[in-house]
Amino acid sequence: MHRTTHADHDGSLAELQELDEMLSDSYASCMWLHNWSSSRLWDWRFGGNAIRHRDDLSFFRRNLHIWRSEGRPAGFLISERGMDLSLQVHPDHRDLEDEMLDWAEKEWSAAPRALETSVWGTDSWCQRLLSERGWKDAESAGFMRRYDTWMKVPDAPLPEGFRLTTMAEEGSVREFVEAVIGAFKHPGLGMEWFESKRSAPDYRDEWLIMVMSPEGRCASFCDARMDRERAYTEIDPVGTHPDFQRMGIAKACLAECLRRLREAGVRNAFIGSDVEPNPSNRLYDSLHPVEKREGRVWRKE
């Protein structure tokens, strides 16, 4: 029987790298994002949280609790905003899920946070476990789509005068940030946010793909973060500035990203989306995913 221990995150990047390797191995076991992608883990540390909690670095320690088997990460509980929890378990250690939920209900429920998590609608094992513990299936958590880059990518021509480029080619940081703020209507996603995301180990300028307008504005964008060893990527964020919406340029941007991924030997690409009736669902479906799953929000009162 393997010896299992658990403790809060020690705050180091080295420990996050261990979790990155666990997530990568989880994907290889399932060929699906049973857990988070590696890019989501790094975004947790270098994305918006890095700005919101720059004066409270203990946020990262108290919102990540890790289980180890024979010294190696076997699973972890993580909260993105300090108000929820995500259960991340290596497929070889799903017997730990009951223990992990037991710990969360005793330790994290003492804090002013809702006990809320999300589970794939296809994960009958975890749904049964939650139901037996008194959790309730509450609502949709959105969708995840898998694209096989070896399949034909739909044609998506750009309007006259628009062109495709990357951050590596263009270096248009200010234009990109302006497009992000416009697309998501969030002034907090500024230069400080981007420079922090850019410092994450998985970020590459050549995989931040942009559509530039004839006037030199960033009209649309998508960022591909990849696990080269396992040959998969998650594309996030994807957005279009309101001045350029309904012109088909986001589809052209994503189609170009999928083509470049194929050329790089990265076969599987994943894109997440919000619940219906979010219009992004129409865009992502139009790119012909080979698989689509819904996440479900489960809550315990």
CATH number at residue 252: 3.40.630.30
The residue from 86, 113, 140 where one domain ends is 113
Structural tokens at position 22: 């666990």
pTM: 0.94
Give the model's pLDDT for residue 112.
Answer: 57
Residue 33 inside a domain? The answer is yes
Q: Is the pLDDT of residue 98 over 90?
A: yes
Does residue 208 lie within any of the structural domains? yes
Average pLDDT over residues 95-123: 86
Instruction: Indicate whether 158 and 240 sit together in one domain.
Output: yes
Residue with tokens 């973060």: 225
φ and ψ of 296, to 5 deg: -120, 140
Res. 297 pLDDT band, cuts 50 70 90: very high
**Mean pLDDT in residue range 74-96:** 92
Q: Which domain holds residue 202?
A: 151-266
pLDDT-based confidence at residue 248 (cuts at 50, 70, 90): very high
Are 84 and 180 found together in one domain? no
pLDDT band at 180 (very low <50, low <70, confident <90, very high): very high
C-alpha to C-alpha distances, 229 to 52, 124, 217, 226, 267, nearest whole angstrom: 32, 29, 35, 9, 12
Q: What is the total count of domains within the chain? A: 2
Answer yes or no: do 85 and 31 share one domain.
Answer: yes
Q: Do 165 and 212 touch, CB atoms closer than 8 A?
A: yes
